[in-house]
Structure 1
Amino acid sequence: MMTVERVSPALGAEVTGLRLVDADDDAVEALYAALIAHQVLFLPDQHLAPIEHAAFARRCGELGARHHSYVTHPDSDDVVVLDWQPGQRPDASEWHSDMSFTAEPPFASILQAVQVPPVGGDTLWASMYAVHDCLDPGFRRDLEALSATHDPGAFRNGPYVSGGTGAMNEMLSTVGSAVWPVISHHPVSGRPYVNVSESNTRWIIGLGAAESARILTMLFDIVNRPDHQVRLRWRPGMIAIWDNRATQHYAVSDYPNDRRIMHRVVVARDTRSAV
């Protein structure tokens, strides 16, 4: 029997008693409901093969095109392989929601640990609902009138190293940028959340540089408070599923002498939602 146990006040729940490869339609619907309620779910001891991983993801929604910067698994183009060798710094070691610089950011991600360091390499998630709810009501009202630009951030690094300014500008023009309300609303729950990240948010529209920077820095500092977070210590075969729309995540880069391999499938569209 599937059980869902909350693991922190802000967000996160552990799901046990369910093998994803054996999940029937009722179990998948129950997982979806738990995801909307808890924002991120942790499922130990899954050990999905890439084909199984992608097949389960399709039951959660519509998959999208592969990410512009990552390699995929030879058994499935839908499975991104995140293989960080000793000495490499993961590009996700800063707070972000996936692809917020695109016109249609993905609904969810399904990440499985394949090889993890003996210690370290944790991932943290932050509830942007919780960040919103802790703000002074007057400040929230001010933020509701503002929008901010999101761009690819650190994804500049690879093109610049390989091809200089021209390659970087080509990537930026191809990938593009997006503008989102600083206070956005979840399409299913309807709840308001803060939609800025230190990784990808560059500017608050209509403000000068100093004022924009002060407001964004204040919000980034609030995201960093442990009160709004949950932390996962990975084990091989463990899966995390998160709703990308009102969460951010941070992959801790504290394993310089070890290798870390993760498999990820991104669910581009929530087919259960009209939005």
Structure 2
Amino acid sequence: MIEFIPMTRHIGAEVTGVDLRKPLSEEETRTVRQGWLAHKVLFFRDQEITDEEHIRFAEHFGTINHPAFKKDSGTPIHVLDQTSPKGEGADEWHSDNTFEPVPPMGSLLRCMILPSVGGDTMWANTYLAYETLSPSIQRLCDELTAIHDITGSMRKAISKGHDFDLAEIQRKWPPIERPVVRVHPETGRKALFVNRASTTRLAGLTDRENEVLLPLLVDHVRNPEYQVRLRWRVGTLAFWDNRSTQHYAVADYTERRRMHRVTVNAFPEHLDR
């Protein structure tokens, strides 16, 4: 029997009763999806699975996303193998790939190698971030759009020694404008959809207005009441909803940390309307 054990009041749950080495039945898939929508991020412990089983589990929930800038783009597995992660971009609150025309629905991240201490990941509930704004700011945000741009995160990666063709990436993903408040296509709830990694400005506002309002919005997810923090173990898999969360990889280690990630796009029936 599948059970969800909440880790905090507002976000995150550990899942029991699922063996990811085996394909899910239709009923199990529905149950996991319902729990995922309710808790925003799910944690599956002690799952000693292969890359093929990781991919198969992901395909129950969406179609595989292949970012073109990923060097190992021939496989759905994106390997994150780091010893000096500070400043590489994941150590700031963000939603994945909001610069894409259709941002990915979610990601499934599996722990392979851990440092002796550190390397936790945190997630924040962006429904709650929106709902705790004052009604006046909510109404303002409901009317605003923002510019999302890959340039800043790519420049950080290049400065850290990663070999990317910035001009090519910018041609593929030019800046895109999207609503500051996103209505979740499955739950109908509103979520704050700006982040420090790729939201560069609020459209239609002056520079001075942006200097005041944009930092307030992108930093609003930093309230601990909105968050859950995962202490990884080898064999743990985290599955999060990119539409209702942001996440932050704590860069407090200098030993090797290796993670395998599969990112999924929404099925057509779960796309934004």
In 1, the alpha carbon distance for the partners of 2:221 and 2:71 equals 27
1:51 match: 52
2:5 match: 5
Identify if the C-alpha distance between structure 1 residues 163 and 125 changes in structure 2 by more than 3 Å, giving closer, same or farther.
Answer: closer
1:108 match: 106
Q: TM-score, normalised by structure 2?
A: 0.92
State which of 142, 162, 171 in structure 1 corresponds to 2:169. 171
8 Å CA contact retained: 2:147, 2:202: yes
In 2, the alpha carbon distance for the partners of 1:59 and 1:70 equals 25
Identify if the C-alpha distance between structure 1 residues 225 and 67 changes in structure 2 by more than 3 Å, giving closer, same or farther.
Answer: farther
**Structure 1 unaligned blocks of 5 or more:** none
* 1:222-233 equivalences in 2 (<5 Å): 222-233=220-231
Identity over aligned pairs, percent: 36
State which of 262, 268, 271 in structure 1 corresponds to 2:265. 268
Query: Offset at 1:64?
Result: 2.3
Residues 200-242 of structure 1 show CA distances to partners (whole Å, capped at 9, x for unaligned) of: 1001001111211211111123211101111000000000000
Supply the AA of the counterpart residue of 1:112.
R
**Structure 2 unaligned blocks of 5 or more:** none
1:18 match: 18
* 1:1-275 equivalences in 2 (<5 Å): 1-22=1-22, 23-71=24-72, 77-85=75-83, 87-89=84-86, 90-152=88-150, 153-159=152-158, 167-256=165-254, 258-271=255-268, 273=270, 275=272
Describe the SS at the equivalent of 1:60.
coil
Query: Offset at 1:27?
Result: 1.1
- Which of structure 1's runs of 4+ aligned residues deviate more than 4 A? 159-164
Identify if the C-alpha distance between structure 1 residues 223 and 70 changes in structure 2 by more than 3 Å, giving closer, same or farther.
Answer: farther
CA RMSD of aligned residues (A): 2.1
Identify if the C-alpha distance between structure 1 residues 240 and 232 changes in structure 2 by more than 3 Å, giving closer, same or farther.
Answer: same
Residues 164-222 of structure 1 show CA distances to partners (whole Å, capped at 9, x for unaligned) of: 9x943332222222211111100000101111001110010011112112111111232
8 Å CA contact retained: 2:97, 2:104: yes
8 Å CA contact retained: 1:125, 1:250: yes
Supply the AA of the counterpart residue of 1:124.
M
8 Å CA contact retained: 1:70, 1:81: no
Query: Offset at 1:88?
Result: 4.2
